[in-house]
């Protein structure tokens, strides 16, 4: 990547392809990669393990402050917290249904956003989430809002769940996807929405490599305008 684009923020709704695209983009550019959703999932898992109610923001905030997260940095989506190395546990159905509630807790967001900004300060990073361009990194060099139709996103999530051995109906996944969209878009703190200067990219009909190349082309265009 030519000099001038060092921090790339990718936002978008659940199952929009952020994880796969962000990871591959980072690999292609030789950048660090941070999936902020993993951080919220880790706190959700830890709260459930310790019997902390997911609707208790203050207790969740104390939990997040007392247990800093260490991303293992191997693109595996694993994280170390409170002596546990978490991977597949972060995709358990119990985490899926509670992570939005934990993400809504302002004390948790305050703590995790601070950690995320420390990572971005080093530069050469692709960071994905739902409030990166709007809240976490409002000065990112390139902001991408990645989305797809609800039907395609539900299909993608359904295939992932089936691959993990979970028996679930596609219509159920679609219903949960739409519910997650509504919850994330209407939360008071850091709602899901494109940043005003974000570039919106619909991935319907595109494979991962096409999306990655499209983003790289956009980054080169942004660099050329500087």
d(CA 184, CA 188): 9
Q: Looking at residue 74, what is its pLDDT?
A: 61
Please tell me the least confidently modeled range out of 17-21, 76-80, 97-101, 159-163: 76-80
Domain residue spans of the chain: 1-31+124-217, 35-123
Helices (runs of H) and strands (runs of E) counted in the chain: 8, 8
Contacts of 138 (CB under 8 A, 6+ apart): 195
Q: What is the mean predicted confidence (pLDDT) over 92-113? A: 92
Task: Using only the alpha carbons of the chain, give its radius of gyration.
Answer: 17
pLDDT value at residue 34 = 92
Query: Is 77 a residue whose pLDDT tops 90?
Result: no
Homologous superfamily of the 1-31+124-217 domain (CATH): P-loop containing nucleotide triphosphate hydrolases (3.40.50.300)
Residue 150 has pLDDT above 60, yes or no: yes
Mean pLDDT of 120-124: 90
Domains 1-31+124-217 and 35-123 alike in fold = yes
**Residue ranges in 93-149 assigned as alpha helix (H):** 93-103, 106-121
Tell whether the model's pLDDT for residue 178 goes beyond 60. yes
**Per-residue pLDDT at 73 exceeds 80:** no
**Average pLDDT, integer, range 129-137:** 94
- Name the percent of the chain lying above pLDDT 70: 95
The closest alpha carbon to 142, from 27, 17, 39, 29, belongs to 29
**What is the pLDDT at residue 1?**
44
Q: What is the pLDDT of residue 197?
A: 94
Residue 3 CA to residue 223 CA, distance in Å, equals: 7
Higher pLDDT, 101 or 222: 101
**Mean pLDDT, the chain, integer:** 91
Per-residue pLDDT, averaged over 52-63, amounts to 97
Helix (H/G/I), strand (E/B), else coil: 32: strand
> Considering the entire predicted model, what is its pTM?
0.86
- Regarding the domain delimited by 35-123, which CATH topology (the fold level of the hierarchy) does it fall under? Rossmann fold (3.40.50)
183-206 tens-digit pLDDT: 888 888 888 899 999 999 999 999
Tokens of 180: 């997650």
Do the beta carbons of residue 11 and residue 18 sit within 8 Å? yes
């Amino acid at each position: 990547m030519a000099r001038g684009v060092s921090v790339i923020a990718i936002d978008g709704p659940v199952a929009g392809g952020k994880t796969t695209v962000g990871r591959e983009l980072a690999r292609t550019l030789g950048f660090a990669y941070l999936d902020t959703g993993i951080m919220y999932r880790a706190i959700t898992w830890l709260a459930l393990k310790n019997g902390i109610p997911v609707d208790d923001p203050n207790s969740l905030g104390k939990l997040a402050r007392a247990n800093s997260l260490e991303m293992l940095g191997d693109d595996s989506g694993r994280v170390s917290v409170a002596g546990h190395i978490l991977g597949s546990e972060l995709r358990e159905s119990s985490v899926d249904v509670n992570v939005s509630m934990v993400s809504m807790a302002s004390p948790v967001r305050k703590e995790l956003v601070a950690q995320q900004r420390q990572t971005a300060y080093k530069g050469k990073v692709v960071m994905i989430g739902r409030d990166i361009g709007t809240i976490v990194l409002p000065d990112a060099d390139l902001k991408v809002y990645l989305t797809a139709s609800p039907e395609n996103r539900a299909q993608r999530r359904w295939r992932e769940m089936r691959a993990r051995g979970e028996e679930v109906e596609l219509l159920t996944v679609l219903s949960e996807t739409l519910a997650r969209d509504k919850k994330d878009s209407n939360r008071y703190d850091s709602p899901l929405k494109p940043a005003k200067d974000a570039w919106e990219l619909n991935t319907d009909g595109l494979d991962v490599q096409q999306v990655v190349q499209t983003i790289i082309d956009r980054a080169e265009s942004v660099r050329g305008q500087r």
